């Protein structure tokens, strides 16, 4: 992926190694009701080209909001021509009876990541449908990209050997995540909401850089403050490279 837009209107400098983001795990495209950032795939790709992000995990919003089967098919079709975007699948946890068929389709297509939209679909960690979707996904070796509060959804996922990336951890709740991550090597969190002055440093200090990955929530949030926060974190270059790139590459291996 070209790291910048060469046009005069966007005279970006080439990112330094400390600024480069190999993988962004939190990218959406398509309509989002009641939000002004309803952007199509072309706009999202242009937006990423103007950033230090090289590659991203992405999916169409049709899947979580309207129809999981149609949304997955749209994501796979659209991203087939986008080498910098890796398709992410989803299922509707409100209709867990169809989850096995959806997950088989995604597995057959080589999809490694499953994104759960528990907030939009009003799912709770104790709901039978949620538990079934999680069990089926983990049986297929999928990585969960998980919204919601890790304090609520993390405990039911412990002891399962699960690879989970929590997408919505706020800096205020970091200590509880660190307690979970001490016992769960597969628990990770994105940098998106870790806005405290030492949030990234605390994760690296207490559980190590393998528990962090970069996620921007493009197009709903600005990438720049997040890349700068990682760029200037008081951590080693090796730790920064793990967070920006290598941890996701390990999940892809």
Q: What is the CATH number of the domain that holds 134?
A: 3.20.20.140
Residue 192: inside a domain, yes or no?
yes
Residue 3: inside a domain, yes or no?
no
| Tokens found for residue 70 | 């149609």
How many structural domains comprise the chain?
1
The Cα 188–Cα 211 span in angstroms is 4
| Residues 110/88, Cβ–Cβ less than 8 Å | no
The domain of 46 spans 17-252
Q: What is the CA radius of gyration of the chain?
A: 17
What pLDDT was estimated at residue 13? 59
Name 246's Cβ contacts closer than 8 Å, sequence gap at least 6: 22
Asked whether the whole model's pTM tops 0.85, one would answer yes
Q: Is the peptide bond before 114 cis (omega within 30 degrees of 0)?
A: no
Residue 1: inside a domain, yes or no?
no
The Cα 154–Cα 184 span in angstroms is 10
Query: Residue-wise pLDDT tens for the chain (253 aa)?
Result: 444 444 444 434 577 777 899 999 999 999 888 777 778 999 999 999 999 999 999 999 999 999 999 999 999 999 999 999 999 999 999 999 999 999 999 999 999 999 999 999 999 999 999 999 999 999 999 999 999 999 999 999 999 999 999 999 999 999 999 999 999 999 999 999 999 999 999 999 999 999 999 999 999 999 999 999 999 999 999 999 999 999 999 999 8
Residue 229: inside a domain, yes or no?
yes
Q: In a 3-state reduction of DSSP, which class is residue 238?
A: helix
pLDDT digits (tens, 9 = 90+) for 112-148: 999 999 999 999 999 999 999 999 999 999 999 999 9
Residue 106: inside a domain, yes or no?
yes
Residue 9: inside a domain, yes or no?
no
**Which of 129, 35, 40, 32 lies closest to 79, judged by CA?**
40
| Residues 219/37, Cβ–Cβ less than 8 Å | yes
The Cα 192–Cα 171 span in angstroms is 9
Residue 10: inside a domain, yes or no?
no
Q: Residues 40, 46, 50, CA angle at the centre, nearest 5°?
A: 145
Residue 145: inside a domain, yes or no?
yes
């Amino acid at each position: 992926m070209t790291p910048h837009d060469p046009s005069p209107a966007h005279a970006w400098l080439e990112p330094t190694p400390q600024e480069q983001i190999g993988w962004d795990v939190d990218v959406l495209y398509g309509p989002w009701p009641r939000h002004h950032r309803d952007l199509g795939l072309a706009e999202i790709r242009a937006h990423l080209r103007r950033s230090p992000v090289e590659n991203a995990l992405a999916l169409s919003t049709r899947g979580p909001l309207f129809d999981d089967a149609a949304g997955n098919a749209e994501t796979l079709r659209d991203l087939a021509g986008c080498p910098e975007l890796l398709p992410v699948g989803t299922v509707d946890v409100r209709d867990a009876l169809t989850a096995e068929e959806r997950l088989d389709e995604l597995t057959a297509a080589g999809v490694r990541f499953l994104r759960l939209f528990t907030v939009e679909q009003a799912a709770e960690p104790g709901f039978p449908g949620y538990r079934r979707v999680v069990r089926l996904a983990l049986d297929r070796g999928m990585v969960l990209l998980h919204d919601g509060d890790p304090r609520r959804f993390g405990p039911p996922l412990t002891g399962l050997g699960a690879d989970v990336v929590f997408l919505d951890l706020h800096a205020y709740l970091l200590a509880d995540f660190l307690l979970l991550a001490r016992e769960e090597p597969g628990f990770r969190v994105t940098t998106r909401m870790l806005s405290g002055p030492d949030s990234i440093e605390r994760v690296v200090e207490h559980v190590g850089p393998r528990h962090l990955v970069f996620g921007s929530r493009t197009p709903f949030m600005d990438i720049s403050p997040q890349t700068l926060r990682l760029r200037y974190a008081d951590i080693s270059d090796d730790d920064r490279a793990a967070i920006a790139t290598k941890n996701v590459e390990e999940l892809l291996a």
